[in-house]
Amino acid sequence: MQIPPVFPKGATRTENGVEFTVYSRHASQIDLCLFDDAGEKETARLPMMRGEDDVHRLTHENAGPGTRYGFRAHGIYAPEHGLWFDPAKLLLDPYATEIDRPFRHDPSLYAFGAETGAIMPKAILSAHDPVKRQPPRFAEGGLIYELAVKSFTQLHPYVPEDIRGTVAALAHPAILAHLKKIGVDAVELMPITAWIDERHLPPLGLSNAWGYNPVGFIALDPRLCPGGVRELRDTVAALHAEGIGVILDLVFNHTGESDIEGSILSLRGLDNLTAFRHPQGKPGVLVNDTGTGNTVACDHPYIRQLIVDSLRHFVLNAGVDGFRFDLAPVLGRTAAGFDMASETLAAMHSDPVLYDRLLIAEPWDIGPGGYQLGNFPESFLEWNDRARDDMRRFWRGDAGTTGALANALSGSSPIFSRHGRLKSRSVNFLAAHDGFTLFDLVSHERKHNEKNGENNRDGHNDNHSWNNGFEGLTDDPAIVAARLADVKALLSTLFVSRGTLMLTAGDEGGRSQQGNNNAYCQDNEISWVDWSSLVPELIDHTAFLAALRKRFGVFSESGFFSGRGDVTWLAPGGEPMTVADWERPDGQAFAMVLSTPDRETGKATELAVLINRGRDIVPFTLPGDGWRSIGTDFGNPAFLPARSVVFYLRG
């Protein structure tokens, strides 16, 4: 068995001081640059020693916590050959955990020979106290709450102004109380590691609000986490104390150095040929499987170790429970294409620190063979856009969608039973940061991204959305009532689906982004959650659904339904659904009857979920006696309201 190479891990304390290390196969020399305490004045530039393993090393006996530093790389500058060496560029250590300022665009960052030491963030040498390792707080089948730290907390009236927009705000009692009320089992933090705006945004007066344009894979962005690793660790501990897990959304598929016109910030300047993927025989061309200008070579041993070490850092030093991976097929891509058995994916779920962490794949990118839903290793959960679209299409009224909805409710077995698997790996969601908010989904038939500065060309066009008779916001009480009913029905559908659930922050209360379905560049009131506008009726409904899901054990199971006593599908007359019922193009109403333990009573029971997407009341009969409503006032036989999901219990 071949032993994989072990590469350096940045700055580490030794008995002789601090050893600085960095890998570069193609640089002729790398310098360690030290700065004063303000990170403004370069105080030393020290050539590092290159070893036969292409690791550049230097031990500094006087470096201690708080030391500001960066690297400079010497060599040939020939981007047409994949070589970007420019010693005028200060470069971020890929293993840096904290930096002293955010990244900002400047023409010098991509102009050869232009000095960048004054404007580049400096790595801060930091010591971290490891946290006690504990099992993850989140169990499959639970509710994940996706949030952007700033957008979620910036306008909260009870959060002190000095911590609004930061990771620390998530530990505030008002935030914790809201999360507890709606039954959140884990928060998923959109990227909090250091990022840079896409270069076309500053001239438009816009900035990245989501963080999916990383420079450092480990370094926390000081705008979101000014207290560094300690702030993240303390917030994780506060959430854990309330039984809420923490998942980090990480981006390893590309860097903010972008395309051939982009900046020299870190990996590009250290060793572009190693860090990024290039077509065979074309080192000057950057593969763009991500749509962002470059693709990280995740199958290279150095990058593989950097990824795994990044994950280990957040578990060991902050106690996080799991990770979501943006454009995850890149992580499993080799020269031959996507491989679920790739060494990088295997290393992520077999590592002794990571083996029990929650791993979630966004299972698509725009590269060849980039749509891989259902094909990740069994240790990964996967975002399920098929279920998302089928739930949307059913409630929009698309013909012939009843069967597709039933598949989504049942854990999407046609997708996840491949490869001989017996359990669903689905993360079910109706909306995410990408696309419409849930309320906008029922308020707009088309996107409205004009404020993004791209003439409404950006963002998805096929949203499976509807507007209930008027495009955009309105005060018409009938339309408002119809939209609220639709949001309730959609939420109910999501919460009775088999799999892990994900809800995006604010969707529990009817948050709007004014029809913008690509608000990544709207770091303003468009993307910020307006807590004063959230609808208490919707929040209460979400809380009811979360409590219902926790009460009945059927929802924490991940095996596929067999149809042998665990689930029955009923037509409105109370008889089992026939082939003709399933295939009716205009199918309006049906029921899913589940056999389930009731954790409140400790007894076996039956839970009936009655669904009516039509615009008329439907008489519905449940077989036998003893049914009682939960959360509704309708008797049996039920007159099932239009555009509704209602619940009945027996046993």
**DSSP state letter for 224:** T
C-alpha dihedral sign at 62, 64, 70, 74: positive
For 588-607, the DSSP string reads: -EEEEEEEEEETTTTEEEEE
Verify whether residue 326 is a known catalytic residue. Answer: yes
End-to-end CA distance of the chain: 58
Contact status, residue 494 vs residue 541, Cβ threshold 8 Å: no
Verify whether residue 581 is a known catalytic residue. Answer: no
Residue with tokens 């339309």: 479
Of the listed 93, 146, 271, 326, which one is catalytic? 326
Of the listed 31, 185, 197, 362, which one is catalytic? 362
Tokens (6 digits) for 189? 């933090």
Residue with tokens 């270069």: 199
Which strand (E) or helix (H) includes residue 491? helix 477-495
Rounded Cα–Cα distance for residues 419 and 351 (Å): 23
**DSSP state letter for 372:** -
Q: What are 358's strand-pairing partners?
A: 322
Type of residue at 473 = L
Q: Comparing C-alpha atoms, which of 449, 605, 562, 569 is closest to residue 513?
A: 449
Which alpha helices (H) appear in 146-209, and where do they start and end?
Answer: 149-153, 173-181
Please return the burial class of 284, using the count of CB atoms within 10 Å of its CB with bins 0-12, 13-18 and 19+. middle
**Distance from CA of residue 352 to its chain's centroid?**
24
Question: Which residues, 6 or more positions from 557, have their beta carbon under 8 angstroms from its beta carbon?
Answer: 141, 498
Question: Which residues, 6 or more positions from 409, have their beta carbon under 8 angstroms from its beta carbon?
Answer: 493, 496, 497, 498, 592
Rounded Cα–Cα distance for residues 279 and 270 (Å): 20
Please return the burial class of 227, using the count of CB atoms within 10 Å of its CB with bins 0-12, 13-18 and 19+. middle
Contact status, residue 186 vs residue 246, Cβ threshold 8 Å: yes
Active site (catalytic) residues: 326, 362
